[in-house]
Structure 1
Amino acid sequence: MKNLSIFIAGCLLISMCVTQSEPSSHATVTRQSENEYGSIDKLLVVHFHRVHQCTCCINVGKWAEETIQKYFPIEFEQGRIVYMDVCIEETPELSRKYNAYGSSLFISIIKGEEETFTENMEVWTYCFDHDAYVDYFKNFLDSILTT
């Protein structure tokens, strides 16, 4: 009985290894959809906020700019990545364009004459953890720029 249990456990272990070593077509599809932007001309990181900001709102903008300048200095210097800090009350036309009515961080991708933007909600998960925020945001920007 003990030998049978060892044999079954061994078979399960081998089958798990064989399954994991085979390439997954699903993983490839997921990666392609994450990098749907292709080569880009410019990446705008737009931090919208009100005049009076909470600590979390301040951190989201400050750490986004810090991450860009620290990890993407060439792209920042060349103007390929642009960080914008936008007060909603002072710039209502830009706020309307992005449909930003409260604190938010938008990523705008410009390819030729076409601009696509989306709000990054994930940054708020890390707004009180500097290192986690920077790590997440660096990887996020990397995934866009390396397409």
Structure 2
Amino acid sequence: MGAVGAARDCFETAREYQTERDQFGGPIARFQIQQEKLAEMATQITLAQLLAYRLADLKERGDLRPQQVSMAKRNNVRMARDQARVAREMLGGNGITTDYSPMRHMSNLETVYTYEGTHDIHSLILGEDLTGIAAFE
């Protein structure tokens, strides 16, 4: 899934920036909140990767259902968009420049969030699968 790759690149860019950027006498990665953000990013990306691996396993076994694909798209695109935003924030003013990838990924992921079937549509697909009741016609 391309969204997970974009999130991973945002994480790597933010991590590198945090460890190399000196501010107030040392790398900004030494600040607790920055480490918490990196830890949360790594966790969310890993969870999305595990979901993608699970889909691959289901597909290989012939058990993949469209609703499971909707769940992965709904989760992973939202996760990637959120992580791109966090990475952009972690780069401070440099986060909005073309020198770093998070802003580009953030823009692309906003588009993917819409054209891949909006988050809400995937939620309705999942809701019908979970309840047996369609919320749309």
More helix by percentage: 2
Pair in the same fold by TM > 0.5: no
TM-score relative to the length of structure 2: 0.29
> Which protein has the larger Cα radius of gyration, Structure 1 or Structure 2?
1
Bigger share in strand: 1
